Amino acid sequence: MQTRTSLPPPTAAGKTDGLGWLLVLAAHGLLVVVLYAAFYNFGLFDNAPSDMRLICWDAGWFYSVKAEGYVAKGGQSNIPFFPLFPYLWRLLRLEGVGISLVNAGLLLLSGAWLGRTFGLRRHQVLLLLSLPPVMFCWVPYAEALFFFFGVILLRGLHRQHLGLTMLGLLGCCLTRSAATLFVPALVLAEALACTSRADLPRLALRLGAGLLTIAAALGAVSYLHWQATGNALALLDSYQHWGHEISWQLPRLLHSTAGVPMLGLDLLALLTVLLATAAALGLGIRWLLGWFRPGPAGPGPSRAVVFSLGYCVGIAAFMVLYQAGDLANSSRYVLATPFFGVLLAQLPRWQGLKRSARWAWVAGASSLMVVLAVWCGWPFRFPGFFPGEAVFYFAVWAVYVGLYLAAFSAWRYNREIRTGLYVLNVVYQLVLLNLFLLPAWMG
């Protein structure tokens, strides 16, 4: 039996046509530009975006692929940076500012398409695109292109359109090294949509096509590496120079080499993936039990929602196994993606749960936040802070998380909270962009 999605259709109050979406998000983009220009002209920011200042950190590695292709050498090299974004950059013949404008356009277009696909309200998409780590979609990184193909993938999964699903998988896996995360996410999404033996042929077709698409993307990347270096496995060899080695020991303390400006955001990403892991486990158990219950299966979550949960589970495994307690980059891997947007849009649904279930989730999430704070050394061993300062820092973080929950609730003041949260997000996003242009390491 084919499982129907449980995502509700857009309501009349929340529905916005394509032109309306583009106008709303174009206004958002204009606001970002105007605010940054104002802060710079009033001397609050140090640097204006320029070709030279934008091409720093990972943007420099992407630029090297664009300019000279893949080059293998001792130590760190550009091999781990996947080809689709730098090759598009080369094709367009743009410099730092030009490709950043292209990225901005891709981000806004993707936000509009995401909203139209899932019937999201404008404030839901704006609160996603204003998240501080989305700053990486405005600079010459691959995040905006990954976001774009991620929306195509999610639309294909949600609409059960195999062609779009394959296109999204191919684009994402040519843009970033996402294959190891996408394989278990795809298996989870397709398996949980299979609720009877009659669905098995369809499961085999969709899953087989998806896995072949991922394999084709990896094969194309390996071919480019072989053509440039003579080694088809150059990617695996290069990872050791970037510190990507498996460690089976649970880290004693969490930290972020991106510094305090990113730590709260990285912790929010970790909180998200841990809660997503719990939700995925619950759905998996319910699916297994469903095979032993008589009668037809009830409506299940959209494949797009399950895939997004699976993606977060993969990120959780990556953070624990490969980063040895360093949370750097986790916020852009999680929060600056359409997968987080799909999960964020599910928050209003928790109000349909029984009161006991809602309080259980609140208690579990609150306890987990305390655990994460203590895992960072709070309050006595938090690096560089006195205990009182550490308590204040994590109190602000807890309030920020609580504001997101309140923004998606039915509370009478949620509109004011959404507006204030949006403004706070945009300003913080611009602060991070200014730090990036200094250049300061943001992960």
What is the tens place of the pLDDT at every residue in 133-145? 999 999 999 999 9
pLDDT at 393 over 70: yes
In a domain, 295, yes or no: yes
In a domain, 407, yes or no: no
Question: Is 150 in contact with 168 (CB distance < 8 Å)?
Answer: yes
In a domain, 288, yes or no: yes
* Greater model confidence, 196 or 7: 196
**If pLDDT is split at 50, 70 and 90, which confidence band does 224 have?**
very high
Q: Where are the alpha helices (DSSP H) in 291-354?
A: 303-322, 330-334, 338-344
pLDDT at 15 over 60: no
β-partners of residue 5 are 300
What pLDDT was estimated at residue 1? 37
Q: 176-184 contacts: CB < 8 A, separation 24 or more?
A: 176/82, 176/142, 176/146, 177/80, 177/82, 177/235, 178/146, 179/214, 179/217, 179/218, 180/314, 180/318, 181/311, 181/314, 181/315, 181/318, 182/214, 182/311, 182/314, 183/211, 183/214, 184/310, 184/313, 184/314
In a domain, 31, yes or no: yes
- Provide the domain limits for residue 324: 18-345+412-437
What pLDDT was estimated at residue 11? 37
In a domain, 106, yes or no: yes
Task: State the DSSP H helix or E strand holding residue 150, giving kind and residue range, or none if neither.
Answer: helix 143-159
Most confident of 15-19, 84-88, 377-381, 383-387: 84-88
**If pLDDT is split at 50, 70 and 90, which confidence band does 244 have?**
low
pLDDT at 26 over 80: yes
pLDDT at 336 over 90: yes
In a domain, 11, yes or no: no
Give tens-digit pLDDT for 340-362: 999 988 888 777 778 788 788 88
What pLDDT was estimated at residue 5? 44
Helices 260-290, 387-407: inter-axial angle, 10-degree rounding? 50
d(C-alpha 64, C-alpha 80), whole Å: 12
In a domain, 2, yes or no: no
Count of structural domains within the chain = 1
Mean pLDDT of 106-128: 92
Question: Is 329 in contact with 258 (CB distance < 8 Å)?
Answer: yes
Give tens-digit pLDDT for 137-167: 999 999 999 999 999 999 999 999 999 999 9
Angle at 168 (CA atoms; ends 167, 174), nearest 5 degrees = 90
pLDDT at 295 over 70: no
Lowest-pLDDT range of 12-21, 191-200, 400-409:
12-21
Q: Percentage of the chain with pLDDT > 90?
A: 60
d(C-alpha 310, C-alpha 277), whole Å: 8
Mean pLDDT of 410-417: 84
In a domain, 354, yes or no: no
Mean pLDDT of 289-313: 82
Average of per-residue pLDDT values in the chain: 88
What pLDDT was estimated at residue 31? 95
What pLDDT was estimated at residue 173? 97
